[in-house]
Amino acid sequence: MSAALHDRIRDALQTDVVRTVPLSGGCVGDVRAVDLADGRTIVVKSGGSQLDLEGWMLQVLAERSTLPVPAVLYCNADLLLMSHIETDGGITASVEQDAADHLATLHAVTGDAFGLERDTLIGGVHQPSPQSKHWVPFFAEHRLLHMAKDAHQAGRLPAALVSRIETLCGRLDRWLAEPDTPSLIHGDMWTGNVLCREGRIAGFVDPAIYYADPEIELAFATLFNTFGDAFFDRYNEHRPINPDFFEARRDLYNLYPLLVHVRLFGGNYVVSVEQTLRRYGV
């Protein structure tokens, strides 16, 4: 960490940096645990862009929900200072059950429209979120089509697959219906963003929030095997899951995070996108 960054942290928090330790999981910028002279340990993200937007999303979650997230101590475009969350292990059945309690409560936070009052980010990639009264066209245009075209422009998704995604978007009403209300979601629910301590959730990080059909969050939680039966059994106690979700809509909703990964990494994620399209007859 540079002397200039030490100075910026001191100016923001009125205390000196004593020690820094690199942390894993920094998709956007450099991430470090930093011990301060006043006895606090904080997390510092630096060197990225639009970190103020990540800070804003964390603040929205803190203000509108009870989801445990880091407290934002300071943020601007290239520097984010957050409270440090202690962890001691991975995801267990008891963690999954606790996560289900938290996410069911989060999804009970509703809004007047799908989207959000400003655009957001997912994995550092632009995520447009114009407010819309209708979910299915929002999901088609601002999730699937937007990310497919962005991935194509980045040279990672062939034009033929973009065309097939356009065809799929014209048929979404075969599988998707309008939810009763827009629900607030974390938006990037995978293992790396779930912090655990003593068999419970310690916090959720790196959000990509907006108001959505909460099934898209449930789907994402299965994409990389983040949560399993313990999670879904408990979540179902709070908010009954439609019985055809897993068979009819989970893979369709997971097409969006797959496209995000194509945009970021390309490679085998393109194959997964093509397999999903074939599964839905496109």
pLDDT tens, residue by residue, 172-182:
999 999 999 99
Report domain 3-83's class.
Answer: alpha beta
Annotate 190-203 with three-state secondary structure.
CHHHEEEECCEEEE
**Domain coordinates in residue numbering, the chain:** 3-83, 93-279
Token pair in block for residue 239: 């908010």
Residue 217 and residue 148 in contact, taking contact as beta carbons nearer than 8 Å:
no
Report domain 93-279's class.
Answer: alpha beta
What whole-number distance in Å separates Cα of residue 77 and Cα of residue 97?
36
The answer to whether residue 28 scores a pLDDT higher than 70 is no
**Considering the entire predicted model, what is its pTM?**
0.96
The answer to whether residue 29 scores a pLDDT higher than 80 is no
pLDDT tens, residue by residue, 80-114:
999 999 999 899 999 999 999 999 999 999 999 99
Residue 188 annotated to the active site = yes
Q: Is 12 exposed, middle or buried (0-12, 13-18, 19+ CB in 10 A)?
A: middle
Catalytic one of 98, 188, 206, 251:
188
State the average pLDDT over residues 46-65. Answer: 94
Residue 27's pLDDT is what? 60
pLDDT tens, residue by residue, 130-154:
999 999 999 999 999 999 999 999 9
